[in-house]
């Protein structure tokens, strides 16, 4: 999922998030550990165009669970 918040001219907020599935792989392992084949991808950015030094970015997934993480 991608979402952007803008003033029409300047980007203020952007959010990229998703779930990646690497396929079933070995069926027996998939049945034992189904979440091993999934990964979360996340990126968030916030900036204020009138204040060039005000910028926040994060690519740390904000949830903890049985799935891995991936680059967004």
- Kindly state the DSSP code that residue 36 receives in the 8-state scheme: G
Total structural domains within the chain: 1
Give burial (CB, 10 Å; 0-12/13-18/19+) of 15. middle
Give burial (CB, 10 Å; 0-12/13-18/19+) of 52. exposed
Give the pTM.
Answer: 0.71
- Mean pLDDT in runs of 10 for the chain (72 residues)? 92 94 93 92 93 91 84 78
**Domain membership of residue 45 as a residue range:** 2-70
pLDDT for res 71: 82
């Amino acid at each position: 999922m991608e979402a952007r918040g803008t003033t029409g001219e300047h980007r203020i907020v952007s959010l990229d998030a998703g779930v990646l599935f690497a396929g079933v792989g070995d069926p027996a392992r998939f049945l034992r550990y189904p979440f091993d084949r999934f990964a979360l991808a996340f990126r968030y950015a916030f900036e204020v165009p009138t204040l060039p030094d005000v910028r926040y970015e994060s690519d740390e997934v904000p949830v903890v669970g049985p799935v891995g993480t991936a680059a967004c």
